[in-house]
Amino acid sequence: MMFFRRKEEKFVSPMEGTLIRLEDVPDAVFSEKMMGDGFAVELTGGCITAPVSGVLESAFPTGHAFGIRTREGMEVLLHIGLDTVQLKGKGFEVQVRQGEKITQGALLAKVDLNYIKSAGKSVISPVIFTSGEQIEILKEGAVKNGDAEIVKIQNLEK
């Protein structure tokens, strides 16, 4: 009998835009890493995709944030824009439901960037590793959905 090892999945960019350091995000909750380490993308594209496969642990009804837990236990929070919860779902078209199993690259939401900007909200979107990993940014500048090798993830012993 043959056993096949599951190929280890690499983390990919969930958004299109300009990758920026978390410390440069104009919101202290994120820039001071209160929720965990990560990075942010200043959006230029409106599709938000899954950076990893796993279970969608949280999908806010407003469409502004998603939490994914991988089979290995890594948890990733995607927060679309800053203070966008105040938009009460306007400008967001959610494509998934909480509790769903999702595969890497799956479309999570479509975002109307023009609406978000016209409402006076930032399109800087933090990606946070809430399960304690630390990251090193490997790529600067423009990223697209699905780009690999953008960050190196270091798992910490718990």
Measured at the CA of 116, the angle between CA 79 and CA 119, to 5 degrees, comes to 125
Annotated catalytic residue within 25, 79, 82, 116? 79
User: Is 79 a residue of the active site?
Assistant: yes
- The DSSP secondary structure of 126-142, one letter per residue, reads EEEETTS-EEEE---EE
DSSP 82: B
Residue in the block written with tokens 């938000």: 48
How do 151-154 and 65-69 pair as beta strands? unpaired
Write out the two tokens for 1. 């009998």
Q: Catalytic residue positions?
A: 79
